[in-house]
Each structure stands twice: as C-alpha cells, then as structure tokens.
Structure 1
Amino acid sequence: MDSEARNLLMVLLILTAIFTCSVEAWTGEIHGRFVCDVCGDSSIGPEDHVLEGAEVAVLCITKSGEVLNYQAFTNAKGIYTVAETMPESDRWDACLARPISSFHEHCTHPAEGSAGVKFTYSRLSGNFHTVRPFVYRPARLPTYCI
C-alpha cells in the first residue's frame, strides 16, 4: 500500500471513530411572552399590547446538578426564547423563569402573580416549554379605563 492510500485509510479511520463515539445531544427550549395589561383588568382587550425589549432571567438546574443562568429579551412580538444543546446526561431538570424589567415607557409595574414561574423540564429533545405570560401594568391607568 502506497503512502497516499495509507493516509486516506488513516483519515477514514479517524472520521469513523469521531462519528461512532459521539455523545447523544439533547436540545431544550423555553419561551414565553410579556404583555401590558393597560387597564389592569386582568383580561386581554384591544387596548392591551405585547412588550418589546422586556427582560427575563431563566435559571435551570441540570440532571448533573449544574446551575445555568440565562438572560433574554423579548422581540417585537413580546416573545423571549432561551435554548441550549448539551449532552443528554446534562439536560435541564428544573427551571425558574422570572421577569427582570419592562423598558416600556408606561407599562413598568409587574402585575400580581408575575413574580416568577418554577417548572420541571421533562420535554424530549427538540421540544419546548411555554411559560405563562408575564403581565405588567401602568403606574396610572388611562382615563378611558376608569
């Protein structure tokens, strides 16, 4: 066997070892949204809107006991997303999502029940968990709400 054939065989053996010894990966995703309850009536109406740029912190404990801290901001649709790919043995076990702040000019006060959400993450790889919406209210209700 000439040296070129030997080199090719060596590369093939290395690639085979890499692909057969890979660790099974797991991917998880968490998302939720922020909403401004303009009239503070705890119901969604035409005056209510999503909050772009709101900040959320998500803490997750993995099956191996590691604590992971994520930070995300909402997009123009008021939705935030946290995602991670890791070995299956280190996947998320339990998480806590909590709002940090709303940067909206008028809607900056968290409504009751928007302190945070704890949940067990039991989704299979490639699936997501949706957190209930975090609701903010204005400091003063507009006169059309009264």
Structure 2
Amino acid sequence: MEKQKTLMSLILLLLLFTSDVSAWTGEIHGRVVCDVCGDSSLGPEDHILEGAEVAVLCITKSGEVLNYQAFTDAKGIYTVAETMPESDRWDACLARPISSFHEQCTQLGEGSIGVKFSYNHPSGHSHTVRTFVYRPTSVPTYCI
C-alpha cells in the first residue's frame, strides 16, 4: 500500500511539472566576411571576419522586444539561440552588423545595413540570415 501511495504521489508531481508549459527553441545565425576587392562577389582573396559584432532584435508573439548581441567565431559565423514558452516565441526579427574589429576591413558593404524577417519556424529549427559584408577602407592594388 505504501508503494502505491508513493507511486501516485510521483505521478501527480510529474503531471504538475509537465502540464501546460511547452517550450520552444529558436536559432538565428549568419556569416560576416571581408570583401577585400570591394567587387560585391566573394572570391579567393576574401576572408571571414572573426570577432565581428552583430545585433539581433526580435519581437515575440506576446509583444516583448528582445535584444541580442553576438560575435562571429573563427569561421565568421554568429549565432543567437533562445528557449522560451511557445506563447512567447519570436515573431519577427532584425539582424544588423554593428562593427568589424579587423583593422583593414571596417567599411560596411552595400546592402549590409540590416535584414528584417519573420520567424515562423517550429521549435528546434533555425533561420539563416544572408551574409553581411565589410570592405577595406582602401582597395589593394592587386584588385585593380
């Protein structure tokens, strides 16, 4: 009888903790590169930018505004991820480059001011933002 009471108590506790809260997980990622020749096409002379700063601003289904800051890794990729209740999941986001710490590549390329997008992916899926591009302040002579 005591075993049955303990089992029933355990089942009730499990039901309380798993009842009406369903979690949702989302992810946003993208790349930042240096367009060395400033020709708007990625070639062998171009390279990724490690340590570039990107801001991601999202509004949730419940109207809350969330601001994230991310830096690119050794592969030039930044990632923002969040787990929250399904009712508070991201609805729309804006990703924009903030700065490049690479001393020769600090000028934002055309079309790299920011990207707005709806986030309608189910839990566990990600959204890839198009590549942000920086250019050098002066184009190397081998590009001309």
1:7-64 Cα deviation digits (max 9, x unpaired): 5543442223223x14111111100000100000011111000000000000000010
Structure 1 Cα separation of the partners of residues 54 and 16 of structure 2:
41
Shift of 1:95: 0.4
* Corresponding residue pairs, total: 144
Corresponding position: 1:113 with 2:111: yes
| Consecutive unaligned residues in structure 1, runs of 5 or more | none
1:45-102 Cα deviation digits (max 9, x unpaired): 1100000000000000001000000000000000000011111111111000010000
Q: Where do residues 1-146 of structure 1 align in structure 2 (5 Å cutoff)? A: 1=1, 6-7=5-6, 9-19=8-18, 21-146=19-144
SS at match of 2:117: strand
SS at match of 1:10: helix
| RMSD of aligned Cα (Å) | 1.4
Letter in 2 for 1:122: N
Q: TM-score, normalised by structure 2?
A: 0.93
Identity, % of aligned positions: 75
| Consecutive unaligned residues in structure 2, runs of 5 or more | none
Q: TM-score, normalised by structure 1?
A: 0.92
Shift of 1:125: 1.1
Structure 2 Cα separation of the partners of residues 9 and 99 of structure 1:
54
